A and B are shown apart, each in its own frame.
Chain A
């Protein structure tokens, strides 16, 4: 009597928990995939350092990729990529690429949530982390200029001369992360 009853119950598997899990996994991979591949190109090898901490993906951040010489077939050394836009200087004293990058940063600044600076209350700082993800073999001068551009202290439209504007009109980004890796880890 008991045998056929058991059989009938075992054929009907409740698939709901499995589907729940699978959906959860899909959502995870959609989101995680976006975070990693949207702003980071694979053609960059970042330099090794000791005190590096984990990347936080929760806060709002803009990733500035700068290419080096490490991988064949990658964009030319010292060219900059933010999202899908590439900025490449045509000559050694061509600053138009920096000017275009600054326009992009201005737009990001205007969109961002801001708070007054502790030391200089006239300045308003965006709650955005700028991540400089420069290849280990990027020329140092590019990073040097980038730091001037992101803090809005030079004018790329005027031969990179110091910008003379009131603090209220400045659009600086001050929270900067440098992307790196641990020397012991393989990449």
Chain B
């Protein structure tokens, strides 16, 4: 008797109605599918800041030693041989013509080599062959420049000449990053190391650095001085 009774109770308990719960869960699922945004097309370039250089020095006035590769990035058309005030005047004219838009024609130059002109407007396009072509232009230029400055003795990557990127601070960030990208790519091709995906991969890599700021007192418009310093560099 008792056995029969208990079995009856069990039978009643098992088929409970799951429909409302499933309704709710599906509603939640749809909500999360719709609201979550993915950014899978974003990637990263890993870098490691040097820790053995001590505190960042103030912008030095001393001549830059020869044994480093200087990549200079500045507005197109700015040639050597002017005074800071003249560079300032040129910049002001350029800026008035652009009316607040970023400077788009840019020269990239290594040491005293012939500069290469980059169109910033092209790099702003969403993607495709034109963008690839412009990126490739920077890569090709820097590849040959670095190749011609290659150390002849068998120095390890770590001990080879550091590469310093000097970008005029009023330009867009993308040029400096592209230069960094090109040097890393050259290093990968010549030394056969894989692309760094974490900071530890870079401990034995050649040093590639963004130069610290040269002038800071922007309110007094020292950008002419900065441009002068960058363009004069070897």
Contact = CB atoms under 8 A, between A and B. Distances in A.
Asked if A and B bind, the verdict is yes
Contacts of B188: 51
23 contacts: A26-B25, A26-B32, A40-B39, A47-B123, A47-B174, A50-B181, A51-B45, A51-B181, A51-B185, A120-B52, A136-B174, A138-B173, A139-B172, A140-B176, A150-B49, A160-B213, A162-B57, A174-B51, A178-B177, A180-B44, A181-B42, A184-B127, A187-B126
A2 interface: no
Interface residues of B, number: 77
B99 interface: no
B36 interface: yes
A117 B51 CA distance: 8
Interface string B39-83: 101111111111110011110000000000000000000000000
Given A51-B184, A119-B51, A123-B51, A26 B29 contact: yes
Interface stretch (B84-92, B109-117, B131-139, B148-156): B131-139
Contacts, number: 241
Contacts of B124: 45, 70, 136-137
A172 B51 contact: yes
B48 A139 contact: no
A68 B175 CA distance: 14
B172 A136 contact: yes
Interface of A: 12, 15, 18-19, 22-23, 25-26, 29-30, 32-33, 36-37, 40, 42, 45-56, 59, 66, 68-70, 91-93, 117-120, 123, 125, 129, 131, 133-145, 147-148, 150-151, 153-154, 159-164, 172-187
A186 B188 CA distance: 26
Interface of B: 15, 18, 21-22, 25-26, 28-29, 32-33, 35-39, 41-52, 55-58, 101-102, 120, 123-124, 126-128, 131-132, 134-136, 139, 167-178, 180-182, 184-185, 188, 195-199, 203, 210-213, 216-219
Contact of B37 (A30, A42, A51, A118): A42
